[in-house]
Amino acid sequence: MEFPVIHTNFWDAMIAIPIVIIFTQMLKYFLGISKPFVPTVAILIGLIVSIFISHRGDLIAGVFMGYFYGYGAIGSYASLKTSLLYFRNKK
């Protein structure tokens, strides 16, 4: 079994992860998704974006990178939220 060739590029860091964050927040706002389920929704959106948009035709690469998109969005959002709360409470 060969591992898929996966290229990380501008799309991954600057477009796909923010798209996952934005869609997750929109779904949370409009559908009222409770907080424990938000990371699962982010991973599902990451998988959808990766499989159907960025890695069409290569399911293994799509699934592999989809998890990175979802977890990257979760980590970026958590980091931003923690930093903002720290600076808000510092004053």
Residue 5 within any structural domain of the chain: no
| pLDDT tens string 69-83 | 999 999 999 999 999
Residue 3 within any structural domain of the chain: no
Residue 4 within any structural domain of the chain: no
| pLDDT tens string 39-89 | 999 999 999 999 999 888 889 988 988 999 999 999 999 999 999 999 999
Single pTM value for the model: 0.83
pLDDT for position 12: 73
Confidence of residue 91 (pLDDT cuts 50, 70, 90): low
pLDDT for position 1: 74
Q: Convert 49-87 to b/e letters by CB count within 10 Å (16 or more is b).
A: bbbeebbeebeebbebbbebbbbbbbeebeeeeeeeeee
In the chain, the number of structural domains is: 1
Range of the domain at 55: 11-90
| 26's tokens | 């929109």
Confidence of residue 7 (pLDDT cuts 50, 70, 90): low
